[in-house]
Amino acid sequence: MQCGKSSVGDSIYRYMSGSGRFFPEQLLDCLNISSEHEAVQLADRVEASMYTWRRKSCLSNSKNSWNMVKDLMSTTERTDKNYVMAERAETLLFCLKQRYPELSQTSLDICKIQYNKVKTEE
């Protein structure tokens, strides 16, 4: 399973994983994105990390019985590092798309569209 940290890179990961409040706009300001190509590359990396962390969060929570999960869900979601990182990645991706509204689709979006076209043509 791919690591979310390796997808976004060390510096972005360090900023996202800080224990304080997360400010995605401030992170985007620090990155000095100079082209749409750089913005799409960042969106691809953040989206890949987001799905990796979500998957890991679900896997770690699925080891518990359903009753334990129901009882712990409110605290688990806030304290599970993978869940927090996925939420932060989603927020960062949202802010990136707001900052660059004309941004082309991410690689994942393109794959989804291509896969659906293939499936509907068969």
Helix axes 81-99, 36-62, angle to 10 degrees: 160
> What's the CATH code, domain 4-121?
1.20.58.1310
pLDDT of 33: 92
Listed in sequence order, the residues at least 6 apart from 17 whose beta carbon sits closer than 8 Å to its beta carbon are 81, 85
Token pair for 27: 């992170």
* Residues with pLDDT less than 70, the chain: 1-2, 60-79, 117-122
Is residue 76 within 8 A of residue 82, CB to CB? The reply is: no
pLDDT of 23: 95
pLDDT of 107: 79
DSSP 20: S
Cα separation of 74 and 79, whole Å?
9
Radius of gyration of the CA atoms of the chain, in A? 16
